Amino acid sequence: MLKQLLITIALVSFCGAFTIAQEQTDKKEKKECAKGCCSGHESKGTMTMAHMDSDSTHKDRHQMKSESMDESSIVLDGEIDLAEIDKNEDGKVYQDQMCWNVISDKPGECPQCGMILKEVSLEKAKENLLKHDYKVKE
């Protein structure tokens, strides 16, 4: 009987400690999120329901944020026309270094993987696309 009681106390203590640790992690992520990757979108009216749900994880919030934002226009398929993407005609675009077909003329974040887009020359963007078997308009 005493052994069962001790086991129960140990399990309850472990579960309580785990819950507290998870809550602290969630609070830390929310604080970091507010300072960094998510800052500003609340004031622009793009805050999603997931950001308001305290039970969702940071990753879930970003997944829903990406899905809710109309950034699909920078995810390209078919033959990619880099000159058309370079609207300011500075010879540079922003390209994801994992999702090579995610290209924009403005800085931003990949709606698929969340990475920050890297500024590259049109020639480098073309080289990256061809290297990864994408078609590029000449």
Neighbour count for residue 125 (Cβ, 10 Å): 23
Instruction: Looking at the structure, tell me whether residues 93 and 50 fall in a common domain.
Output: no
Q: Is the pLDDT of residue 43 over 70?
A: no
Instruction: Looking at the structure, tell me whether residues 108 and 88 fall in a common domain.
Output: yes
Instruction: Looking at the structure, tell me whether residues 61 and 43 fall in a common domain.
Output: yes
Instruction: Looking at the structure, tell me whether residues 40 and 77 fall in a common domain.
Output: no
Residue reference for tokens 């920078």: 74
pLDDT at 4: 82
| Number of folded domains that form the chain | 2
Most distant pair of Cα atoms in the chain: their distance: 80
105-122 residue pLDDT tens:
999 999 999 999 999 999
Domain carrying residue 103: 72-136
Report long-range pairs for 37-42 (Cβ below 8 Å, ≥24 apart): 37/62, 37/109, 37/114, 38/62, 38/65, 41/65
Average pLDDT for 58-84 = 67
Asked which of 45, 68, 91 is the last residue of a domain, the reply is: 68
Asked which of 51, 68, 85 is the last residue of a domain, the reply is: 68
Asked which of 68, 90, 111 is the last residue of a domain, the reply is: 68
**Side-chain half-sphere CA neighbours of 89 within 13 A:** 0
